[in-house]
């Protein structure tokens, strides 16, 4: 698996996010998903509103790594996923 190199704007966005909300008590995957949602939406409320479990996220991550399909409802999301993964 290749590791994507983030754009400098994305790096700065995460720096700002982390200066405004402390997600360090969250388990690693939960924190990563929450940070990504906040980054994508600019809505800090996800820090307290998101309900999930590390076990569920681990099973989902394992399924994706094993090649499980990604189903999306929007053409733009599909295009982005294809650009990132090479898979429609």
Of 68, 86, 1, 74, the closest CA to residue 40 belongs to 74
Average pLDDT, the chain: 88
pLDDT digits (tens, 9 = 90+) for 56-88: 999 999 999 999 988 766 777 777 777 767 766
Written as six digits, the tokens of 67 are 């090649």
């Amino acid at each position: 698996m290749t590791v994507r190199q983030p754009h400098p704007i994305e790096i700065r966005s995460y720096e700002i996010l982390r200066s405004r909300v402390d997600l360090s008590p969250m388990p690693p995957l939960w924190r990563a998903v929450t940070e990504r949602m906040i980054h994508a939406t600019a809505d800090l409320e996800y820090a307290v509103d998101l309900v999930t479990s590390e076990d569920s996220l681990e099973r989902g991550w394992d399924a994706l790594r094993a090649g499980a399909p990604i189903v999306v409802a929007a053409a733009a999301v599909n295009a982005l996923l294809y650009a990132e993964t090479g898979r429609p």
